[in-house]
């Protein structure tokens, strides 16, 4: 069988043996629930959790590990943030943009569709980047740090500064699901209130994500239950401080054990710019290909004239090449680009130049 060429890192990254080993080791040697026991295994599990939290805090530039909340992923965090923010603040307007993934915008749009608040649009400039010079006044701003269709990092710091000029009390929420794979996150420099990403985009397992909260003491928790309350007596309960406050129930412990290893491995990856630019240049020579992304983007999105993206996906899949086709859960971005769907090539640390050369040859054959 031919080696499968996996060019779909932006959907989910392949797992290194280091990550698989770290999860296996934890499951085999020190598995127990956290925060609830005093035996050796419980202590080892608590230590693993504390280490992972510190590691992530350092990775994202947080002031304190208590600002790092483990979730099951970006979609989970984005839905939770709606309830966390609305549990404490009166939200009348939320700014969103057409580069948003469904997971970032739909949770707020759902509230707007019930007539409980209004969505306002952040304009994009001619390159489809958020136009920091024209951000609207809003109570909440959702900022997609990198579109999963365009692959271009946004100037998050500038956008947030502009948002605070308009409204010093704006709550800013950064979706870093794609950005995390390509550039360092610095939540203090960004000065964001919330930031989230999914571990699986950088080689950790599915089922673990990170939600950063700048001021966890200010917000009410959105989930109640075991592990987040210190005492209950009569009519009073004492809710624990962060991170416990926002981590009711049992965490995805094995996945968390693999996360620091994934981060560590991902940090040593050069980013694959040479592979992307080779494929971009070759695709740009093919007359039927319409490239949607700029040359320096971290991914390549394109369409083929007179060929449905799903047909392309099936044809290239038959050659053992995995790319993503469709609307990428980014309908608004595709509407802005004037296409129904696209074909996306994205790379990870496992990809080689040979993958790129073979893929280009195969594409040439498919659309000749």
Residues that bind ligand PLP (CB under 6 A): 73-75, 101, 103-104, 144, 148, 175, 177-178, 198, 200
Q: Which residues contact 72 (CB under 8 A, 6 or more apart)?
A: 207, 208, 209, 252
Q: Which is nearer to ligand PLP, 12 or 191 (CB)?
A: 12
CB of 131 to ligand PLP, least distance (A): 19
State CA 186 to chain mean position distance: 15
Q: Which is nearer to ligand PLP, 46 or 324 (CB)?
A: 324
Q: Which is nearer to ligand PLP, 46 or 193 (CB)?
A: 193
CB of 177 to ligand PLP, least distance (A): 3
Q: Which is nearer to ligand PLP, 19 or 45 (CB)?
A: 19
State CA 300 to chain mean position distance: 18
CB of 293 to ligand PLP, least distance (A): 14
Q: Which is nearer to ligand PLP, 145 or 228 (CB)?
A: 145
Contact indicator for 150, 298 with CB cutoff of 8 Å: no
Please give the torsion angle defined by the CA atoms of residues 100, 101, 106 and 109, in that order, rounded to the nearest 10 degrees.
10
Q: Which is nearer to ligand PLP, 91 or 146 (CB)?
A: 146
Which residues face 144 on adjacent strands? Answer: 175
Extended beta strands in 145-265, E state: 171-175, 194-198, 209-213, 229-233, 236-239
Q: Which is nearer to ligand PLP, 101 or 214 (CB)?
A: 101
CB of 186 to ligand PLP, least distance (A): 18
Contact indicator for 296, 284 with CB cutoff of 8 Å: no
Q: Which is nearer to ligand PLP, 142 or 363 (CB)?
A: 142
CB of 73 to ligand PLP, least distance (A): 4
Integer Cα distance of 129 and 135 in angstroms: 12
CB of 104 to ligand PLP, least distance (A): 5
Contact indicator for 206, 255 with CB cutoff of 8 Å: yes
Q: Which is nearer to ligand PLP, 30 or 148 (CB)?
A: 148
Please give the order of strands across the beta sheet that includes 171-175: 68-71, 209-213, 194-198, 171-175, 140-144, 93-96, 118-121
Q: Which is nearer to ligand PLP, 122 or 367 (CB)?
A: 122
Helices of type H across the chain: 17-25, 40-60, 74-86, 102-113, 156-166, 187-190, 253-267, 273-284, 309-317, 331-337, 353-366
Please tell me the chain's helix, strand, coil percentages from 3-state DSSP, rounded to the nearest 5: 40, 20, 40
Half-sphere exposure of 192 toward its Cβ, with a 13 Å CA cutoff? Answer: 29
3-class secondary-structure state, position 96:
strand
CB of 74 to ligand PLP, least distance (A): 4
CB of 210 to ligand PLP, least distance (A): 11
CB of 99 to ligand PLP, least distance (A): 8
CB of 146 to ligand PLP, least distance (A): 7
Contact indicator for 196, 77 with CB cutoff of 8 Å: yes
């Amino acid at each position: 069988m031919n080696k499968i060429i996996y060019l779909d890192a932006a959907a989910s990254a392949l797992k290194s043996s280091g990550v698989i080993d770290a999860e296996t080791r934890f499951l085999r040697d020190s598995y127990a629930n956290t925060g609830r026991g005093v035996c050796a295994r419980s202590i080892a599990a608590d230590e693993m959790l504390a280490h992972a939290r510190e590691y992530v805090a350092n990775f994202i530039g947080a002031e304190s590990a208590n600002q790092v909340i483990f979730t099951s992923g970006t979609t989970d965090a984005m839905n939770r943030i709606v309830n966390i923010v609305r549990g404490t603040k009166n939200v009348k307007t939320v700014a969103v943009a057409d580069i948003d993934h469904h997971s970032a915008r739909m949770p707020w749009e759902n509230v707007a569709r019930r007539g409980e608040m209004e969505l306002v649009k952040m304009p994009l400039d001619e390159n489809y980047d958020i136009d920091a010079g024209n951000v609207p006044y809003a109570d909440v701003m959702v900022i997609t740090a990198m579109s999963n269709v365009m692959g271009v990092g946004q100037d998050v710091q500038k956008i947030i500064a502009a948002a605070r000029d308009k409204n010093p009390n704006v709550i800013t929420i950064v979706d870093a699901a794609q950005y995390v794979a390509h550039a360092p996150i610095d939540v203090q420099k960004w000065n964001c209130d919330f930031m989230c990403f999914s571990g699986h985009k950088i080689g950790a397992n599915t089922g673990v994500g990170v939600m950063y909260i700048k001021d966890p003491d200010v917000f009410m928790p959105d989930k109640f239950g075991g592990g987040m309350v210190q005492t209950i007596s009569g009519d009073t309960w004492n809710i624990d401080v962060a991170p416990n406050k926002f981590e009711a129930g049992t965490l995805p412990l094995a996945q968390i054990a693999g996360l620091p290893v994934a981060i560590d491995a991902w940090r040593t990856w050069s980013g694959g710019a040479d592979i992307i630019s080779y494929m971009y240049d070759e695709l740009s020579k093919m007359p039927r290909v319409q490239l949607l992304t700029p040359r320096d983007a971290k991914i390549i999105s394109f369409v083929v004239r007179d060929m449905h993206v799903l047909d392309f996906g099936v044809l290239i899949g038959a050659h053992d090449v995995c790319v993503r086709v469709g609307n990428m859960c980014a309908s608004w971005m595709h509407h802005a680009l004037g296409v129904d769907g696209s074909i996306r090539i994205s790379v990870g640390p496992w990809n080689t130049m040979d993958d790129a050369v073979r893929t280009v040859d195969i594409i040439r054959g498919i659309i000749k």
